[in-house]
Structure 1
């Protein structure tokens, strides 16, 4: 699947000549899917996910890492599922097969883009448009939120180390989001890197 920001997000450094405050990368070749528990199947779904992916489904807005997949809670009985190894529609197919009859699965790989914003000034950049406190005391490692940034719907979660956030956006607004993000990061300097 082509990059959502192909021809827009060109690799290179903008701003400060020394170390940039922010690094931005579009994460390509991910599998993305939404998962919603079917009525009355919550317990059975939890057990099936634990058996298939080795993780308990999060009951709140946090990230739970399983075998080859991450489950990100974003509402009661609803999750965004992300995989680096089950790319594109393979993730939705795997979920649908393993969780048949327990959950509704929708492939989101073609409809969303994921950007990773990291670096010592990442929180400062995101604070310009996100009405959520990303301070580690309020938003600990593994935290997740569904919100808006500059009037665009996003799902954001902290990925691994502090000051590194993945942001899922609809591909249809990816160019607008990119303009907001790079304008917000300009004062700190930013570097755009490519991923495979």
Structure 2
């Protein structure tokens, strides 16, 4: 009988071995909720500012305009986030079809798939602003950082991009994109910062 070979390498989520579902810090009603976003896809898209060719392509392919500085454009399946001068972050809620989409967009811009090099997490809750204020100097008050806003910033010496999603039943919602190699360091900072408010970790979405 021939023994079946077992692959030594298996796909792992960006937060595997780092984040576990449960309660962190103070007991009682959690002030913050954390959910890892392992199934999403990401790509950097670069083209000359005001590129009519790229904007026409994104409208045709995913029905989204290129966002202006500090903003996002969103649908149920995709989003585009401003990510610097003449640069955008393409966000796909599901990875299915992403390779074909990026291939098509590459006819109009420089495209780099970042899916396996990034770790995404959703942070929400009544105390989310207090937690995030411990790590970044960006003003995230709703009056200046509304739903749909995005920023490139630093948490605990880690470069991240975050954007504000639609508010949820527990309060404001932020999604944060971290370099995968820094996921452990980010999680260490976040858990220490959120502990005083109580943090419910839901695991994967």
TM-score normalised according to structure 2 size: 0.88
Tell me which moved more, 50-59 or 124-133.
50-59
Q: Do 2:79 and 2:91's aligned partners in 1 also have CA atoms closer than 8 Å?
A: yes
Q: Does 1:138 align with 2:144?
A: yes
Aligned-residue CA RMSD (Å)? 1.7
Unaligned runs of 5+ in 1: none
Mapped to 1, the partners of 2:50 and 2:103 lie a distance apart of 14
| 1:1-196 matches, cutoff 5 A | 1-37=11-47, 39=48, 42-66=51-75, 68-87=77-96, 90-97=97-104, 99-161=105-167, 163-196=172-205
Mapped to 2, the partners of 1:73 and 1:100 lie a distance apart of 18
Q: Do 1:30 and 1:109's aligned partners in 2 also have CA atoms closer than 8 Å?
A: yes
Mapped to 1, the partners of 2:164 and 2:37 lie a distance apart of 14
Aligned residue-pair number: 192
Mapped to 1, the partners of 2:26 and 2:152 lie a distance apart of 31
Mapped to 1, the partners of 2:156 and 2:106 lie a distance apart of 37
Q: Do 1:92 and 1:105's aligned partners in 2 also have CA atoms closer than 8 Å?
A: no
Residue 40 of structure 1 deviates from its aligned partner by: 8.0
Mapped to 2, the partners of 1:169 and 1:40 lie a distance apart of 25
Residue 51 of structure 1 deviates from its aligned partner by: 1.3
TM-score normalised according to structure 1 size: 0.92
**Structure number, greater radius of gyration:** 2
Name the CA shift for 1:92/1:106 in 2 (closer, same or farther; >3 Å). Answer: farther
Unaligned runs of 5+ in 2: 1-10
Q: Do 2:49 and 2:86's aligned partners in 1 also have CA atoms closer than 8 Å?
A: no
Residue 142 of structure 1 deviates from its aligned partner by: 0.5
Mapped to 1, the partners of 2:26 and 2:76 lie a distance apart of 40
Mapped to 2, the partners of 1:92 and 1:63 lie a distance apart of 22
Tell me which moved more, 155-164 or 177-186.
155-164
Residue 77 of structure 1 deviates from its aligned partner by: 1.6
